[in-house]
Amino acid sequence: MDQFEHYLQFQKEVTASKLKVIEQFQKGGRAKSNKRTSKIEIAHNVLNDAGKPLHVTEIVQLAKKTYDVQLDRDSIVSAILKKVKADKTFIRTAPNTFALKSYTSR
């Protein structure tokens, strides 16, 4: 391909991208994000929003209420405990009660 052909291909791709955005706005929505939120990120967000330690039952309830995500109690406890044992992000304040590590610096 010569430079002009590369330029035309570039313009074609830019135009196609613009059309996708225009079509999305015409449908009344916005472009979908490809990024998914993991269950551990949801638990982190719930604890961050709460600003205090929460029992796993509260974490599961708030995840459902706030993010419309059903967390499996045993799975989320296991995932959080892995982070606690690795000394990352979460701390355990009582049995099945967790907080963000950043709370200790407040």
Rounded-to-integer distance, Cα 104 and Cα 36, Å: 29
The pLDDT value given to residue 7: 84
11 and 58 part of one domain: no
60 and 11 part of one domain: no
pLDDT, tens digit, for every residue of 4-52? 888 888 888 888 888 888 887 777 755 455 556 789 999 999 999 999 9
- Are 73 and 55 in contact by the 8 Å Cβ rule? The answer is no
70 and 100 part of one domain: yes
Task: Identify the domain containing residue 67 by its residue range.
Answer: 39-105
The pLDDT value given to residue 101: 87
The pLDDT value given to residue 42: 93
29 and 46 part of one domain: no
pLDDT, tens digit, for every residue of 41-81? 999 999 999 999 999 999 999 999 988 889 999 999 999 99
pLDDT at 3 over 80: yes
| Overall pTM surpassing 0.85 (yes/no) | no
12 and 48 part of one domain: no
What's the number of domains the chain is made of?
A: 2
92 and 55 part of one domain: yes
27 and 48 part of one domain: no
1 and 43 part of one domain: no
95 and 62 part of one domain: yes
